[in-house]
A and B are shown apart, each in its own frame.
Chain A
Amino acid sequence: MNSEVVLEVKNLKTHFISNKGTAKAVDGVDFVLKKGETLGIVGESGCGKSMTSLSILRLIPSPPGKIVDGQVLLNGKDLVTMSDEELRKIRGNRISMIFQEPMTSLNPVIPVGEQIAEALRLHQGLSKKQAWDKSVEMIGLVGIPSPEKRAKQEPFQLSGGMRQRIMIAMALACTPEVLIADEPTTALDVTIQAQILEIMKDLQRKIGMGIIFITHDLGVVAEMCDQVGVMYAGQIVEHRSAQDLFKNPLHPYTQGLIGSLPKLYEDQDELQTIEGTVPSPYDYPEGCRFAERCPFSTDICVQKQPILVQYDEDTKVRCWKYTDEWQNSLTRGVVIP
């Protein structure tokens, strides 16, 4: 696989400031996305995965939201400090995005083909005719039958699966380097989801874009992603290859998450659960944010926030268990009679 880095996110912090206080929705996220690679970002509701994706293209509603720290480097160029005008040339052109509900992202009164063509005229400077032809070609490419006819239809005339295909066609029309997919198949039925995932993989092979795939569905991650970042309370707690993650999760939260999943090919009497609830983003604890729910938690976890430990070459985990301090604290804790 080509190891060229396309997108690098460094210490990204997006906070929401209101009279209730400061909600640290994204609180120090780092990752790199390589060309042709799919990076999954998983976590439960409120963990900051969608906010991370929106922050990349500066789509955070501001105020109250604000990127307070960090860099988002697209081929070395920082999107956080870029002017709005420059950023507009990148959005939908070099980085595109697809969302969960296509109906809310499509204009309801404009034919879908025209909506795709608009992006092509704007970003690629194609003529009206060229843009339309390319638009029809894209609609065919995402597996919609009779694309000439469909291109002239309005969103309400299409099914949910077809609308999501249109979104993909629109996102990929300008052959972007990065595609951000935020829960793109969550609203779809499984048989349709299988179709859409297959098309995304297929187009990735053809176009070679890097995909950031945001989802709460661990099964989808296993199908789609090369690398996975597991988010909890605004931070990435574990980052490793998808294969290793599911075989041998390191962080206690990841272990709990995978354990609580009902298995399709196994009978279980009782599901593993994670006790307690996620801490409020307005008031994160001093130490590890998972300590309160963690079965392994000790004094050090409550007192000090763990750093992202380099576990092996391409694995990082934010947990005291994998540090030297942990070993020391354990031996010190043993009372010799």
Chain B
Amino acid sequence: MNNVLVEKKPLLQVTELKQHFALKKEVIFQQRQVVKAVDGITFDLYAGETLSIVGESGCGKSTTGRSILRLDEPTDGDVLFKGESLPKMSKKELRNVRGDIQVIFQDPYASLNPRRTIRQMLEEAMAIQKVLPPNEREGRMLELMQHVGLRPEYLERYPHEFSGGQRQRIGIARALAVNPEIIICDEAVSALDVSIQAQILNLLKKLQKDFDLTFLFISHDLSVVRHISDRVMVMYLGKIVEIADKSALFDNPLHPYTKALLSAIPVTDQTKRGERIILKGDVPSPLNPPTGCRFHTRCPFATDLCRQEEPALLGLEKNHSVACHYAKELSS
């Protein structure tokens, strides 16, 4: 399935995307400090696939999702949706595109208006995007509720009347209401208990099949990512360190960071896990990222070259790119 995808035209092309945030000056005449949350990343998202972005807190995975949609204005770089540049669009054009690219956030309660019923929310979304004439919306709403596994009478209820899992279903229904092509799921199942998380993951997979959706799935949980993705992209301090088909990434990780990340995950079956690589120290601050390879401060294999020169993201195998000077040596 993955091989077929590669032949397809990308639905979303991200080129050298940068998102820098300038901090407030603490002292007058101090040089303005800049957090480079996302610092030049390039990737394609193909129609019908699920591409996951994984990484630890502060790696820029959520910021990437937000800058694609211009929820934060990107500092530099380009994002093409079906060949059209999102950063160059006017506000009005952008609003139309936002009907095609929807987001589901981690905390559904924070993203649902507490004073509106589910009906009002779905109706508003459809009205803004003009998806259907008003008289046909009722039928569509009932359909949506069925798709996400909620009872039709729940339409009249308010968000506080639902459990966390149900709220996430409402978030999904609202995203689907405008017939999107891409859904960006930003830690969409992270706040849920495992048994509920499983329900939502199954639902997302089913909806993807039924509606030909493309997912950009942002998560810190690698087990979830393995379950849902076709391809996986690993980020560290604003850079892509590795991007590959799911099976290649999990069975044969090439970047030392990916290896350490995979080995650090606690698993229930202790016999399956390889030797644990414990990384030294913390993730450095994105305010002042290390020179050269950003991972060199924690990498067990770092050399002078790593400290001085930044490695490029290079295709080492088919559909498997990695940003490490020694990827070839380390893989053999």
Complexed CA–CA distance, A263 and B279 (Å):
23
Stretch from B37-45, B133-141, B177-185, B262-270 contacting the other chain? B262-270
Complexed CA–CA distance, A263 and B267 (Å):
8
Q: Does A119 contact B (CB under 8 A)?
A: no
Q: What's the interface size class on A, roughly?
A: 35 or more
Contact flag A258-B205 (CB < 8 Å), given A45-B193, A191-B260, A273-B198: no
Complexed CA–CA distance, A263 and B217 (Å):
17
CB distance from B134 to the nearest CB of A (A): 35
Contacts of A257 in B (CB 8 A): 194-195
Number of contacting residues on B, CB 8 A? 40
Asked if B267 and A216 make an inter-chain contact with CB atoms under 8 angstroms apart, the answer reads no
Q: Does A162 contact B (CB under 8 A)?
A: yes
CB distance from A294 to the nearest CB of B (A): 13
CB distance from B168 to the nearest CB of A (A): 14
Asked if A267 and B57 make an inter-chain contact with CB atoms under 8 angstroms apart, the answer reads no
Q: Does B282 contact A (CB under 8 A)?
A: yes
Asked if A44 and B195 make an inter-chain contact with CB atoms under 8 angstroms apart, the answer reads yes
CB distance from B269 to the nearest CB of A (A): 7
Stretch from A71-79, A193-201, A281-289 contacting the other chain? A193-201
Asked if A219 and B282 make an inter-chain contact with CB atoms under 8 angstroms apart, the answer reads no
Task: Name the residue on A nearest B206 (C-beta).
Answer: A270
A residues adjacent to B (C-beta < 8 A): 44-45, 159, 161-162, 189-195, 197-198, 216-224, 246, 256-265, 267-268, 270-274, 277
Q: A194-B266, A194-B278, A221-B268 are in contact. List 16 more A-B contacts (CB 8 A).
A: A44-B193, A159-B282, A162-B282, A190-B222, A190-B265, A191-B261, A191-B279, A192-B56, A195-B279, A216-B194, A224-B266, A261-B268, A262-B201, A263-B269, A264-B226, A271-B198
28 A–B contacts, CB within 8 A, in A order: A44-B194, A159-B282, A189-B220, A190-B222, A191-B261, A192-B282, A193-B264, A194-B276, A194-B278, A198-B278, A216-B193, A218-B194, A219-B223, A219-B266, A219-B267, A220-B266, A224-B266, A246-B268, A260-B198, A261-B194, A261-B268, A262-B224, A264-B222, A264-B223, A264-B250, A264-B267, A268-B227, A272-B198
